[in-house]
Copies of this chain bind each other. A is one copy, B any other.
Amino acid sequence: MTQLPRLLTLSPQDNVAIALDDLAAGDVVGQDSLTLVQSVARGHKVAIAPIAAGRNVLRYGQIIGQATADIAAGEHVHVHNLGMGEHAQDYAHASEATELNAATDARTFDGYHRADGRVGTRNYLGILTSVNCSGSVAKFIAEAAEKSGLLDDFPNIDGIVPITHGTGCGMSGENEGYDTLFRTLAGYAQHPNFGGILLIGLGCEVMQVSALVGGRPIRADGALRYMTIQHEGGTRKTIEKGLTELRGIAELANAATRQPAPISHLMVGMQCGGSDGYSGITANPALGVASDMLVQHGGTTILSETSEIYGAEHLLTRRASSVEVGEKLIDRVRWWEDYTARNKGEMDNNPSPGNKRGGLTTILEKSLGAVAKSGSALLTDVYLFAEKIDKRGFVFMDSPGFDPCSVTGQIASGANLIVFTTGRGSVSGYMPTPCIKIATNSEMYARMADDMDVNCGDIISEGVSLHDKGAEIFEMFIRIASGEQTKSEDLGFGGVEFVPWQIGAVM
Which A residues fall within an 8 A CB radius of B? Answer: 132-133, 135-137, 139-140, 164-166, 169-172, 175, 202-204, 229-230, 233-237, 273-274, 307, 339-340, 342-345, 400-405, 424-429, 447-451, 491-497, 499-507
Cβ–Cβ contact A400 & B497, under 8 A: no
Cα-based distance from A236 to B494 in the complex (angstroms)? 16
Cβ–Cβ contact B345 & A447, under 8 A: no
Query: Which chain B residues lie closer than 8 Å to A169 at the CB level?
Result: 402-403
Asked, given contacts A340-B507, A345-B175, A345-B504, whether A427 binds B229 with beta carbons under 8 Å apart, the answer is yes
Within the complex, the shortest CB–CB distance from A57 to chain B, in Å, comes to 28
| Residue in B closest to A502 when the chains form the complex, CB atoms | B502
| Residue in B closest to A239 when the chains form the complex, CB atoms | B491
Cβ–Cβ contact A345 & B450, under 8 A: no
Query: Which chain B residues lie closer than 8 Å to A135 at the CB level?
Result: 495-497
Cβ–Cβ contact A204 & B274, under 8 A: yes
Cβ–Cβ contact B166 & A499, under 8 A: yes
Cβ–Cβ contact B502 & A506, under 8 A: yes
| Residue in B closest to A176 when the chains form the complex, CB atoms | B344
Query: Which chain B residues lie closer than 8 Å to A426 at the CB level?
Result: 133, 202, 204
Query: Which chain B residues lie closer than 8 Å to A450 at the CB level?
Result: 234-237
User: Can you give 29 contacting A-B residue pairs, CB < 8 Å?
Assistant: A132-B496, A133-B403, A133-B404, A135-B495, A135-B496, A135-B497, A136-B428, A136-B493, A139-B496, A166-B404, A166-B500, A170-B403, A202-B274, A202-B426, A203-B425, A204-B424, A230-B424, A233-B447, A233-B448, A235-B450, A235-B491, A236-B450, A237-B450, A307-B507, A345-B505, A345-B507, A401-B507, A405-B506, A501-B506
Query: Which chain B residues lie closer than 8 Å to A451 at the CB level?
Result: 234-235
Cα-based distance from A497 to B134 in the complex (angstroms)? 10
State the number of copies, please: 2
Query: Which chain B residues lie closer than 8 Å to A307 at the CB level?
Result: 507
Query: Which chain B residues lie closer than 8 Å to A204 at the CB level?
Result: 274, 424, 426
Cα-based distance from A405 to B132 in the complex (angstroms)? 10
Among all A-B residue pairs, the 10 with the closest Cβ atoms: A170-B402, A135-B496, A234-B448, A343-B505, A166-B499, A204-B424, A400-B506, A204-B274, A233-B447, A164-B496
Cβ–Cβ contact A427 & B202, under 8 A: yes
Query: Which chain B residues lie closer than 8 Å to A230 at the CB level?
Result: 274, 424-425, 448
Within the complex, the shortest CB–CB distance from A147 to chain B, in Å, comes to 12
Cβ–Cβ contact A497 & B345, under 8 A: no
Further 5 A-B residue pairs, CB within 8 A, beyond A137-B427, A139-B496, A140-B492: A132-B497, A166-B405, A175-B344, A234-B425, A345-B505
Cβ–Cβ contact B496 & A339, under 8 A: no
Cβ–Cβ contact A234 & B172, under 8 A: no
Cα-based distance from A464 to B506 in the complex (angstroms)? 37
Cα-based distance from A403 to B168 in the complex (angstroms)? 11
Query: Which chain B residues lie closer than 8 Å to A424 at the CB level?
Result: 202-204, 230
Within the complex, the shortest CB–CB distance from A431 to chain B, in Å, comes to 10
Cβ–Cβ contact B495 & A404, under 8 A: no
| Residue in B closest to A429 when the chains form the complex, CB atoms | B136
Query: Which chain B residues lie closer than 8 Å to A503 at the CB level?
Result: 506
Cα-based distance from A237 to B451 in the complex (angstroms)? 11
| Residue in B closest to A399 when the chains form the complex, CB atoms | B506
Query: Which chain B residues lie closer than 8 Å to A425 at the CB level?
Result: 203, 229-230, 234
Cβ–Cβ contact B405 & A170, under 8 A: yes
| Residue in B closest to A129 when the chains form the complex, CB atoms | B496
Query: Which chain B residues lie closer than 8 Å to A203 at the CB level?
Result: 274, 424-425
| Residue in B closest to A423 when the chains form the complex, CB atoms | B204
Cα-based distance from A274 to B403 in the complex (angstroms)? 33
Within the complex, the shortest CB–CB distance from A17 to chain B, in Å, comes to 27
Asked, given contacts A236-B450, A402-B169, whether A504 binds B427 with beta carbons under 8 Å apart, the answer is no
| Residue in B closest to A503 when the chains form the complex, CB atoms | B506
| Residue in B closest to A138 when the chains form the complex, CB atoms | B496
Query: Which chain B residues lie closer than 8 Å to A339 at the CB level?
Result: 505
Within the complex, the shortest CB–CB distance from A429 to chain B, in Å, comes to 7
